[in-house]
Structure 1
């Protein structure tokens, strides 16, 4: 009799557990299931994927940084040796591009024309296609912007080329978008891509660095449109959201170099290619998943969570509640990115920040008053 009661009790507890989990899923609470998702993802064997990582290179990125393009995010003293006390050769102005020759501790040995020297790399951007070529890059703002608000075109923005950002890349042997982020962030982006590839998916990156002048133009045009259109105004200014959750007239994370706008795609076909002395697998065909909204839809309909979350907290989002529009693809994108150490922005399903990179540059952040239109990359050699 005691045994039967124990069995009945065990079955009752199992049913209760299932009901509890279903309830957690139905109300969209992130906290109850998030730790399990992170644990499962961290235990997944990513190295089993043949995509992305060069078969000839084992490092924190898909390809070595040697020969990749870097940029000074702020005015930086070019040193003759790696160290603050070393002699200053000259000042590299914010936005100056260069080829990375070597890395020693927290310093890069760089070359720009006949000029060579050392720069502190935590204040530098690196061009992502040079070191993570498996990502699908498509910066629509450089040829036909997809910015909209409540489904409405933003005058002088939507479908317009907002800035130049594509160039022939000698390292890759093709025209490619320029996608700079802070060097420390690039390693997290790589980790997120490896998580996606392990599931047969890939990140599709729409934007990284954005010039401040472009952001200012978007916010001005959107503000003017909202004054004329009640639906647009409601989309960006209905509590708990306000326009600054979608676009700000101040310096943003994109100018500072620790933000990316990214979607998710299903990999359909790949091929082997050689970049310098290294062999990599590249994605040749893919299908982008349907997401909660189209990319760069500036309104509350793009929100991940039902309420704002402190965007400078690496953990506050874990206690948030999903909106009803968050689908499996968007949740997977968040899962890959957060497992890599990135932090989601509550108001935009596509936007992720690297708060650790932010901490490194807060004393001297980039203001974004420059455009990055050229690359200086060369094929990586062993």
Structure 2
């Protein structure tokens, strides 16, 4: 009986061991299968992730290439015409009370009359006429009696109208009370066409063309016109004259420099209507171009001045004394050839002579008393008996991209 029990216990023990071994083998097989499944799934996920990253990288690369292509600067497209930019959509001004006609014809019906100094947008040119837009209306004006805003069509030049913020007027190097370092009038505003704040530089249309020719010559020598002033309101000029007259009465040095034979004060400043008010004079210097950049205005590109260095001239700009004279004695300002017989002062240096050459070649006449001043006598003849009196200031532009 005891022997049978021992046999039975032995069999049970063997069965238990076998079952344990089987369980261990089963567990290992199941774990291995699970690991393979996980490994397979993980591998699929990794592959998918790599594929996604690869696609993303490829898309990003393509997007970057497209972005690079989109950001490439447009091809340069200089305007082939009289100015840097076409006159269309530039700002113009009536230099006198100017009739607006229904058609480009002197005998056409007058719609209304613009007051001297009124601004308008130039739409197109037809012979001697501009079609203009003003106060939401359109009509035609004779452009010989109109100013054009020079920066709108000649952005390649440099502009610095110091009389609008800190006048440089001095005499024999002496400050003129209530004038020097003051603003004589307001003439700078935001310019939509140019995309920046800029001086308003109005000048008769005929004269503007000559200034463009002078600038074209300067650019060929890596130089630029530095334009200080064209139109000057009459009341600003009267103030300078009055204050300089008072100073000359009190100061012998100023008196000797501005009002001693062969020169008289009116050669430097006067209280009558001058060529500046009429719109055919310019005060200008010359500068070396240090840096340019290409700007786009509408469809057209222009190389504009980013940095420049003004040349050392015979005197500072607007030095009202005989030190600024070009010739040893006065020369009539109404004869386009009289200056050719005059004798140069030895103080007139090469930059001043280069500036004179540019303007003479462009058809303008130097003023004997000021190295910086040039007149357009052709434009003067065109507006004879209809000259501007300068009793207004232009403070707005009406323009848009060309």
Give the C-alpha shift of residue 310 in structure 1: 1.1
> What residue in structure 1 maps to residue 253 of structure 2?
231
Which residue of 291, 296, 300 maps to 1:269?
A: 291
Mapped to 2, the partners of 1:56 and 1:310 lie a distance apart of: 40
Taking structure 1 as the reference length, the TM-score comes to 0.85
Consecutive aligned runs of 4 or more in structure 1 exceeding 2 Å deviation: none
Instruction: Give unmatched runs, 5+ long, in structure 1.
Output: 1-53
> What residue in structure 1 maps to residue 95 of structure 2?
73
> What residue in structure 2 maps to residue 333 of structure 1?
355
> What residue in structure 2 maps to residue 96 of structure 1?
118
Deviations 1:160-208 (A, max 9, x none): 0110010000000000000010001000000000111111100000001
Give the C-alpha shift of residue 307 in structure 1: 1.1
Mapped to 2, the partners of 1:78 and 1:365 lie a distance apart of: 17
> What residue in structure 2 maps to residue 44 of structure 1?
none
> What residue in structure 1 maps to residue 161 of structure 2?
139
Give the C-alpha shift of residue 263 in structure 1: 0.2
Mapped to 2, the partners of 1:128 and 1:114 lie a distance apart of: 23
Mapped to 2, the partners of 1:279 and 1:182 lie a distance apart of: 25
Give the C-alpha shift of residue 289 in structure 1: 0.2
> What residue in structure 2 maps to residue 245 of structure 1?
267
Mapped to 2, the partners of 1:60 and 1:240 lie a distance apart of: 41
Give the C-alpha shift of residue 306 in structure 1: 0.5
Matched residue SS, 2:351: helix
Give the C-alpha shift of residue 131 in structure 1: 0.4
> What residue in structure 2 maps to residue 345 of structure 1?
367
Matched residue SS, 1:231: helix
Q: Greater share of helix residues, 1 or 2?
A: 2
Mapped to 2, the partners of 1:68 and 1:262 lie a distance apart of: 22
> What residue in structure 2 maps to residue 318 of structure 1?
340
Matches within 5 A, 1:253-264: 253-264=275-286
Mapped to 1, the partners of 2:167 and 2:78 lie a distance apart of: 37
Mapped to 1, the partners of 2:330 and 2:77 lie a distance apart of: 43
> What residue in structure 2 maps to residue 20 of structure 1?
none
Mapped to 2, the partners of 1:58 and 1:316 lie a distance apart of: 35
Alpha-carbon contact 2:278-2:387 (below 8 Å) kept: yes
Aligned residues: 327
Matched residue SS, 1:217: helix
* Match status 1:60 vs 2:61: no
Deviations 1:282-339 (A, max 9, x none): 1111100000000000000000001111101111111111111100100000011111
Matched residue SS, 1:234: helix
Mapped to 1, the partners of 2:206 and 2:389 lie a distance apart of: 18
Give the C-alpha shift of residue 113 in structure 1: 2.4
Matched residue SS, 1:125: strand
Mapped to 1, the partners of 2:165 and 2:210 lie a distance apart of: 27
Give the C-alpha shift of residue 56 in structure 1: 3.4
Alpha-carbon contact 2:77-2:299 (below 8 Å) kept: no
* Match status 1:87 vs 2:109: yes
* Match status 1:193 vs 2:193: no
> What residue in structure 1 maps to residue 235 of structure 2?
213
Which residue of 88, 102, 111 maps to 2:133?
A: 111
> What residue in structure 1 maps to residue 201 of structure 2?
179
Matches within 5 A, 1:272-287: 272-287=294-309
Matched residue SS, 2:394: coil
> What residue in structure 1 maps to residue 43 of structure 2?
none
Higher Rg: 2
Taking structure 2 as the reference length, the TM-score comes to 0.81
Mapped to 1, the partners of 2:85 and 2:301 lie a distance apart of: 9
